[in-house]
Amino acid sequence: MASLIIKIVNRSNNALPAYATPGASGMDVRASLNAPVVLQPMERTLIPTGLYVEIPEGFEIQIRPRSGLAVKQGITCLNTPGTIDADYRGEIKIILINLSAEPQQILPGDRIAQMVVQRVEQILWETAESVGATSRNDGGFGHTGKQ
C-alpha cells in the first residue's frame, strides 16, 4: 500500500510525529515549550507543537487525546477530535484541559495528543420533503436500552 506524503515544517526541538507501533493509527504529538506549563484543575490552555503541515485536498488531520495522559493525569483535549483542514497553514496547537483535582505539569517534549490523517469528502445537499425510513427511524439518545 502506498503511503500518503505530507509536507511538514518542524520548528520545535522534538522529533517528527511518528507511529509508535506498526498497527497504530495515530502519531504522538509533542509539546514545543521553552518551560513547563502547569494546568490547574479545570484549566484549559493552548499548547504549541512547532509543527506546520501542508495537507492535501481531500484529507484532514484529526487531533485526539492520548489515553495514557487522560488516565494518569486527567489531561485531555478539548474540541475532540480537533480538525486541521487541508487549507490551514498555521502552527498546530493543542487545546488541553486538566480534568483532575490536582495541578498537572506539561513538560517540553511531552507527548500531549495523537494526530490521525483521514480522508474526507465534501458533499452537495439535495433538498427533499422527507428522508427514507429505517427500523431505527428517530430513535436515539439511549433508545436501545442500558446494557
pLDDT at 143: 64
pTM: 0.88
Domain count, the chain: 1
Q: Is the pLDDT of residue 142 over 80?
A: no
User: In this predicted model, what pLDDT tens digit does every residue of 5-51 receive, in sequence order?
Assistant: 999 999 999 999 999 999 999 999 999 999 999 999 999 999 999 99
d(CA 130, CA 134): 13
- Note whether residue 140 is domain-resident: no
- Note whether residue 107 is domain-resident: yes
User: In this predicted model, what pLDDT tens digit does every residue of 30-42 receive, in sequence order?
Assistant: 999 999 999 999 9
Q: Is the Cβ–Cβ distance between 13 and 32 less than 8 Å? A: yes
CATH number of domain containing 106: 2.70.40.10
- Note whether residue 45 is domain-resident: yes
Q: What are the Cα distances from residue 86, in Å, to 7, 9, 22, 63, 76?
A: 12, 15, 25, 14, 24
d(CA 144, CA 147): 9
Q: Is the pLDDT of residue 1 over 80?
A: no
CB atoms within 10 A of CB 93: 17
Range of the structural domain that residue 99 is part of: 26-119
Average per-residue pLDDT in the chain?
A: 94
